[in-house]
Amino acid sequence: MPLQHRAAARLLEPLRRVADNRPRCKPATHPGEGPPDRDFLLLLSWYVIFSPRQQHTIGKSVSVSGFGYWSGRDIHIEFHPAKEDSGIRFVRVDQSPARSVIAHVANRVETPRRTNLDANGSSVEMVEHLLAALAGLQVDNCEIHIDAPEIAGCDGSSLPFATALLDAKIVPQDALRPRLIVREVTRVGSDSSWVEARPATHQGLSVKYRLDYGSENAIGRQSLELQVTPESFLQELAPARTFVLDEEAQWLRDRGMGLRVTTEDLLVFNDEGPIDNPLRFEDECVRHKALDLIGDLSLAGCDLIGHFVAYKSGHRLNSELTAALLAEGQIEEGYRLSA
């Protein structure tokens, strides 16, 4: 089999692996069109070892629908191409007039268990899985229209969003992507949970995450280390779903939250393991925590070049590190490719 065909087969494997798990979000279809050119991911993955790289947007508008884990509302999301240097912008089309929120750590508001943004009298909840899909596939400029204050939970992973973005085709732009190079160790947190940025051992971004629920818990101790490229993100992280302990899920339901969510919509663990929902990876939980980290780091609004190591870190610490890097580091602005 030619190299490019073997590579394409590898890229499609996570889609085949989870095809029977009924994703709760459905990307819009376009009758009469051929399959997306996923070989483009190989080109992106090759670009990631060089710096700087070109910015990217999507080639056409696509949509995803689902329901909000927290609100239970039906939600429609549309991804639209955006011009160079515009970044990631959420537009609340359910408001009159429509209001926008830029995906940046300066707009983050502290909320347990998720990443929320608030600006211009508008807010967007649970953005981390969608942002991870954009960052993992290196989509830098995109306008996201939503008709609710929350991003659809889908199947609890980034895969439905990544699939829609691939269907839209990821296209390069002339402007180069700004970057912040980590030159010294920066850590936030405590001895019990922390996350730190270290100078890169390779070009681009790499992550190492250690998850520790103890030896008596079904989740247990898991670790993962990964050089993040569009190909590795799609294969290793995008399908990994969010998870919760059964007692935590019951606590939320008792307070009127997550009432529409079932064990088919995410991973709910009891003492024996996930309830009525088979794992996609043996270490799916730590993979999802790495996915969350990538989504939260994307709130820097530029490429972060470094090695990121986390121990039991969550959204708050991830975002604190992102803010610290922006405060202490210097963003190297991109420029346009010459004709």
DSSP β-bridge partners for residue 146: 77, 92
HSE-CB for 70 with a 13 A CA cutoff:
14
- Alpha-carbon distance 188 to 105, whole Å? 15
- Alpha-carbon distance 128 to 158, whole Å? 9
The pTM of this model reads: 0.85
Residue 163 CA: distances (Å) to CA of 14, 26, 328: 11, 10, 36
**What is the token pair recorded at 139?**
């989509």
**What is the token pair recorded at 127?**
């953005």
- Alpha-carbon distance 249 to 21, whole Å? 21
- Alpha-carbon distance 193 to 187, whole Å? 11
Of 169, 178, 72, the closest CA to residue 126 belongs to 72
Who contacts 11 (Cβ-Cβ below 8 Å, separation ≥6)?
A: 38, 39, 41, 42, 231, 234, 235
**What is the token pair recorded at 132?**
């991870």
User: How would residue 44 be classed by pLDDT, with cut points 50, 70 and 90?
Assistant: low
**What is the token pair recorded at 193?**
């949970």
Residue 84 CA: distances (Å) to CA of 127, 141, 174, 175: 22, 6, 8, 6
Q: Report the catalytic residues.
A: 315
Query: 20 pLDDT exceeds 50?
Result: no
CATH superfamily of 3-332: lpxc deacetylase, domain 1 (3.30.230.20)
Q: What is the three-class DSSP state of 336?
A: strand
Backbone angles phi, psi at 15, to 5 degrees: -70, -40
- Alpha-carbon distance 301 to 322, whole Å? 10
Q: What is the three-class DSSP state of 227?
A: strand
DSSP 19: G
- Alpha-carbon distance 8 to 44, whole Å? 13
- Alpha-carbon distance 205 to 228, whole Å? 6
Neighbours of 98 (CB within 10 A): 11
Average pLDDT over residues 154-162: 97
Dihedral sign, Cα of residue 67, residue 69, residue 73, residue 77: negative
**Widest pairwise Cα distance in the chain:** 61
For 50-65, write each residue's pLDDT tens digit. Answer: 458 999 999 999 999 9
For 74-83, write each residue's pLDDT tens digit. Answer: 999 999 999 9
Query: 239 pLDDT exceeds 50?
Result: yes
- Alpha-carbon distance 151 to 33, whole Å? 27
Query: 257 pLDDT exceeds 50?
Result: yes
CA 33 to chain centre: 27
Peptide bond into 52 cis (omega under 30): yes
- Alpha-carbon distance 330 to 184, whole Å? 12
Least confident of 22-31, 186-195, 256-265, 316-325: 22-31
User: How would residue 162 be classed by pLDDT, with cut points 50, 70 and 90?
Assistant: very high
Write b or e for each residue in 264-280: b if 16 or more Cβ atoms lie within 10 A of its Cβ, otherwise e.
ebbbbbeeeebeebeeb
User: How would residue 41 be classed by pLDDT, with cut points 50, 70 and 90?
Assistant: low
Q: What letter represents residue 248's amino acid?
A: E
